Amino acid sequence: MARLLVSVRSASEARAAVEGGAAIVDVKEPSRGSLGRASVDVWREVRAAIPDSTILSVALGELVEWSTGDLPREGWEGIRHRKIGLAGSGEHWRERWSDLRARFETGPGWVAVAYLDWRTAGAPDPFAVIDEAATIADCAGVLFDTFDKSRPIAVPDREWRDRIDRVRAFGRFVAIAGSLDEERIRRLRSMEPDLFAVRGAACEGGDRIRAIDPDRVARLVRAAGADDVPIRNPDRTGRPGPVAGLGRG
């Protein structure tokens, strides 16, 4: 049964995501792109706002946005995973990604991002990202996402299965994102990912810039396969535990 990851931009949104039944809270700033980076202060505020048992991850934007002076030296406390996109990273993306990981030195584990609209994004082929993530970068998992959030793409089931099987062959967890809604999540349940990751579908009116709605989160949790989870869960108890392999944040 897949769990739900909800991307949030504030402490209040994080509380709403947990109330709705999200297993993982991911911090990002949607106005800054697919994986827009929020400030370290927001990371800390979110961590303080949710139970210690709730896994926390953060988005770090795109590889091309980073320079040596940008590297945060603190603020990683209580964060389980971090991820960075590879849009526009060019033919030397492997070296650039490796260099960034080395310069971070310590901190949360990495999750690789494979853009399904990789040609539009100028990103590497997903299979190349999977192989790099598993054999060189030693990432905990792979997130299949879309760079252009205005254009959800229909990926043939065989392509999903081939890519997911490749990730699983390396023993990594699989997360699926990309402008998902309840219908698409139910259709993709047969792919048996570990996580479905959402932002817009969990927001008021389905608008990724608006606030997280706990009722919408609860419906998405049920769509992901947790049909025994109540529509609302204000006391934050009785929810499924952490995703296998993801640990606790």
- Expressed as residue numbers, the domain containing 199 is 3-223
Residue 132 confidence (pLDDT): 94
pLDDT higher than threshold 90 for residue 18 = yes
pLDDT higher than threshold 50 for residue 233 = no
For the ranges 112-121, 138-147, 227-236, the lowest mean pLDDT is seen at 227-236
104-124 pLDDT, tens digit each: 877 899 999 999 999 999 999
186 lies in a domain?
yes
193 lies in a domain?
yes
185 lies in a domain?
yes
Longest dimension (CA), the chain: 49
Mean residue pLDDT of the chain comes to: 87
pLDDT higher than threshold 70 for residue 241 = no
pTM higher than the cut 0.75: yes
231 lies in a domain?
no
241 lies in a domain?
no
Q: What CATH number does the domain containing 138 carry?
A: 3.20.20.70
240 lies in a domain?
no
Please name the residue that has the structure tokens 């081939």.
Answer: 162
99 lies in a domain?
yes
Task: Name which of 216, 218, 217, 168 is nearest 192 in CA terms.
Answer: 168
Residue 245 confidence (pLDDT): 46
206 lies in a domain?
yes
More confident residue, 246 or 53: 53
Residue 107 confidence (pLDDT): 86
pLDDT higher than threshold 80 for residue 152 = no
Q: How many domains does the chain have?
A: 1
More confident residue, 38 or 241: 38
More confident residue, 4 or 101: 4
